[in-house]
């Protein structure tokens, strides 16, 4: 028999093995979605677990309570802070051009200001991680999350850095409040 000829006995054997496997697999797993006569599984009927609040939400609520603001109850909206304003304040503070914070450069002189700006954007705005990433030069949301977590860790362990970030945050909030 040459390579081009088909061995029908081998094909029949492979087909029978395939049919047997398919029958075994379909008998082992129940049909999905369940028919109306079948009850729904418990995990479908249970409510989804409540997601824990992020650290920045707890901090933001603590700041609002300490400042005497209760925007949710009095019907006044929170001040609108733009990511571009955050980038401007951070770039001015660190002496780095705005374009460098948004660019793809990864030098040490640019990384720290960029990470601080990302942290403040996450804390002070309601933008999603993908949206913040788009504002910072089209970065992936996981990159933004990494920068946020790294800066949060530095804030927890370095009081000097925490004071620096807090001063920037107050400058951003103060500048925004002065304009309104």
Residue 12 burial by Cβ neighbours in a 10 Å radius (0-12, 13-18, 19+)? exposed
Same domain, 118 and 86: yes
94 plus 20 within the same structural domain: no
Q: What is the largest CA-CA distance in the chain?
A: 90
What is the rounded CA–CA span in Å between residue 138 and residue 135? 7
Q: Are residues 90 and 72 both part of a single domain?
A: yes
Question: Dihedral, CA atoms, 30, 32, 34, 35, nearest 10 degrees?
Answer: -100
Same domain? For 85 and 152 the reply is yes
Q: Are residues 91 and 158 in the same domain?
A: yes
Say if 3 falls within a structural domain: no
- Say if residue 34 is in the same domain as residue 121: no
Task: Look up tokens 């990470």; give the residue.
Answer: 115
Identify whether residues 82 and 167 lie together within a single domain.
yes
Same domain, 32 and 60: no
- Mean pLDDT for the stretch of residues 65-80: 54
**Are 155 and 80 within one domain?**
yes
Q: How far apart are CA 17 and CA 27, in angstroms?
A: 15
Range of the domain at 71: 55-179
Q: What is the pLDDT of residues 17-42, one digit of tens each?
A: 888 888 877 665 555 555 556 565 55
In tens, the pLDDT along 85-123 reads: 999 999 999 999 999 999 999 998 999 999 999 999 999
Confidence of residue 155 (pLDDT cuts 50, 70, 90): very high
27 and 63 within one domain: no
Query: 87: closest CA among 127, 112, 116, 111?
Result: 116
In a domain, 169, yes or no: yes
Same domain, 28 and 70: no
């Amino acid at each position: 028999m040459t390579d081009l000829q088909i061995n029908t006995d081998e094909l029949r054997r492979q087909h029978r093995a395939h049919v047997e496997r398919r029958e075994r697999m379909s008998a082992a797993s129940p049909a999905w979605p369940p028919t109306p006569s079948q009850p729904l599984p418990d995990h479908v009927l249970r409510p989804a677990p409540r997601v824990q609040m992020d650290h920045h939400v707890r901090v933001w609520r603590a700041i609002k309570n300490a400042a005497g603001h209760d925007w949710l109850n009095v019907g006044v909206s929170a001040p609108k802070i733009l990511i571009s304003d955050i980038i401007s304040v951070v770039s001015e503070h660190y002496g780095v051009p705005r374009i460098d914070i948004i660019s793809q450069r990864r030098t040490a002189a640019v990384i720290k200001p960029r990470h601080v700006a990302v942290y403040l954007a996450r804390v002070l705005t309601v933008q999603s991680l993908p949206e913040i990433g788009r504002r910072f030069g089209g970065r992936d949301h996981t990159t933004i999350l990494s920068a946020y977590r790294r800066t949060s860790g530095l804030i927890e362990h370095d009081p000097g850095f925490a004071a620096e970030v807090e001063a920037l945050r107050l400058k951003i909030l103060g500048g925004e409040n002065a304009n309104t």
